[in-house]
Amino acid sequence: MTLSDTRIVDCPHGEACGACSFLRRPYGEQLERKRNRLIDVLKETLRLHPRQVPPTVPSPEVDGYRNRAKMTISTSRERRSALGYFQRKSRTVVDAPDCTVLVPELLETTRQLRRLLNTSDRFPFNLRHIDLRCGTDPTRQHLTLVVKSEQMPRLPIESIVDACPHIVGIGVNLNPKGGAQVIKGRIEPVHGAREVFVDCAGLSVRVSPGSFFQVNLGLLPEIHSRMAEFLGRGNLLLDLYAGVGTHGFALRDRFKRVLCVEGVRSAVADAKATIKSGRIDNIEILANPIHRTIRRLRSEKADAIILNPSAAGAEPPVLETVIESSARSLAYLSCDPKTLGRDLAVLVDRGFDLVTAQAVDMMPQTRQIETLALLRR
C-alpha cells in the first residue's frame, strides 16, 4: 500500500513559497491524493472504474530530484537581491537558498549565484530570471540569464564562471516584455557549452536550453518500461510531440522504424544530433508542428503511437489522425489531467478502450500530476 510510505520532507521556505504545496505530508498520502484527484478529474468526461487507475508510480527520490531551477530575481532599491519563487497567490519573490527539491549540485550553484548577485555591482538591474539545468551529470550545468531588454547588456560572465565551477555553459535570453512566459525567442550563447546530456536507453541525449526535458530523470526508465511492455513490437512507431526524441529513442529496438514529429527547432536539432552521435539508422525526425504533417502521417501505417503533448493537450486534427490511423495501441503521457480527460473522451468515443490511466509522480511535494494513459482497440 502506498499509504505505508511515511517519509516526510520539510523545507524552510514552505510556508511562503508557492511551489511545493504537499510539503510535510507523508509521501504515501501524497501518492494517494494524486490518484484520487486523477480519478475525480477523469470521471468528469469518462465512465471510469477505479481499477483503471492503479496506484501512483512513486518517484525513486522524494527530494533532491529536480534537475532544473527556474528562479526569479527581485532586487530592492538597496540593491539586495532575492533569488527564488513567487509567494503563493502573490508576485512577491521568496528567497529560496535551501530549496529542498533541487538536485544538490544545482542548489549549491543557486547559492553561489545569490552570493554573487549580492556582492557584485556588475549585474544589470533588468536581469529578471535564471534557468539553470543539468543532465545526468549534475556537475555539468547550463545557465540561461533572462534579461528584460531588447539589447544585450554587459554581464559579469567571467565572475559567474569563477564563482560557479559546475556551470559549463551560459546563454542569454532577451525578453523585453516579460510576462508569464519566462523565456521567449532565441537563447544567445555567450560562454562554453550550449547543452547538457542525459543518459537514456544507451544513448547520450543532447538537451539544449530551449528544449523541454523531464525534470525527474529517475522515473524515465519506469515510464519507458511500461510503454515498451504495452506497445509491444512492430514495423512503425509514431512519436508525436516528440521533444528531443526521448521516448522514440527508448523504444527504437522494438520497431523497425520510428517516426518522430516535433516543431520546436532546438528540440529537433537536439534529436538529430543524438541520432548522428548514436549512429541510429531507424529513426526519422519530421521537423514541423504536427498540424503541418497530418498528410504525411495519414500516409503511414503505424502499429503504435506515443502522444506527449504540452499541458494544452493534443490538437483536434492530431486526435483525428490517431483515430484514423492503423495503430492498435496508444501511450499518452500527459502533464494535465483536465486536457487528458478531454482527449481521452474523444479517443474512447471513437473506438479506443482505456486500459489504464496511472499517475506518475514526476514532481514529489507538489500538486503536479503526470499521467501515463494506455489505450487499445
What residue spans define the domains of the chain?
32-61+216-376, 68-196
C-alpha cell at 226: 511500461
Query: Between residues 185 and 316, which one has the greater pLDDT?
Result: 316
- What is the band of 2 on the pLDDT scale with cuts at 50, 70, 90? low
For strands 127-134 and 68-75, give the pairing.
antiparallel
How many other β-carbons are positioned within 10 Å of the β-carbon of residue 327? 25
CATH architecture group of domain 68-196: Beta Barrel (2.40)
pLDDT in tens, 227-250: 999 999 999 999 999 999 999 999
86, exposed or middle or buried, with CB in 10 Å at 0-12, 13-18, 19+? middle
pLDDT band, very low/low/confident/very high, at 317 (cuts 50, 70, 90): very high
pLDDT attached to residue 89: 79
Indicate the residue type of 264: V
Cα separation, 160 vs 349, in Å, equals 55
* Confidence check: pLDDT of 218 > 90: yes
Burial of 222 (0-12, 13-18, 19+ CB in 10 A): middle
Mean pLDDT over each residue of the chain, to the nearest integer: 94
The Cα-based distances of 2 to 35, 49, 139, 185, 338 in angstroms read 11, 19, 33, 42, 24
Q: Provide, rounded to the nearest whole percent, the portion of the chain with pLDDT above 70.
A: 99
Closest Cα to residue 368, out of 214, 171, 247, 260?
Answer: 214
CB 306 within 8 A of CB 261: no
Radius of gyration from C-alpha coordinates of the chain:
21
Q: What is the mean pLDDT of residues 59-66?
A: 97
With vertex at residue 215, the alpha carbon angle to CA 141 and CA 136, rounded to the nearest 5 degrees, is 45
Query: Which residues are 57's β-sheet partners?
Result: 360
- Strands (E) across the chain are located at 68-75, 81-86, 93-95, 127-134, 141-147, 167-174, 187-192, 196-200, 203-207, 234-240, 255-262, 283-287, 304-307, 329-334, 353-360, 370-376
Burial environment of residue 356 by CB neighbours within 10 A (0 to 12, 13 to 18, 19 or more):
middle
Instruction: Check residue 1 and give its pLDDT.
Output: 46
What is the model's pLDDT at position 295?
Answer: 86
Q: Give the DSSP letter of residue 373.
A: E
Q: Does 68-196 match 32-61+216-376 at the fold level?
A: no
- Residue 79: pLDDT over 80: no
128-168 pLDDT, tens per residue?
A: 999 999 999 999 999 999 999 889 989 999 999 999 999 99
How do 141-147 and 127-134 pair as beta strands? antiparallel
Query: In 10 A of CB 316, how many CB atoms?
Result: 11
- Is the pLDDT at 332 greater than 50? The verdict is yes
Through-space distance between the first and last CA atoms of the chain, rounded to whole angstroms:
31
Neighbours of 344 (CB within 10 A): 25
What share of the chain has pLDDT > 90, as a percent?
84
How far from the centroid of its chain's Cα atoms is residue 85's Cα?
A: 18
Mean pLDDT for 326-353 is 98
Longest CA span, the chain: 64
- The whole-model pTM stands at 0.95
pLDDT in tens, 159-213: 999 999 999 999 999 988 777 777 888 899 999 999 999 999 999 999 999 999 9
The CATH number of the domain covering residues in 32-61+216-376: 3.40.50.150
Q: Are 170 and 190 in contact (CB under 8 A)?
A: yes
Work out the average pLDDT over 276-292: 92
Cell 514529429: give the residue.
Answer: 261
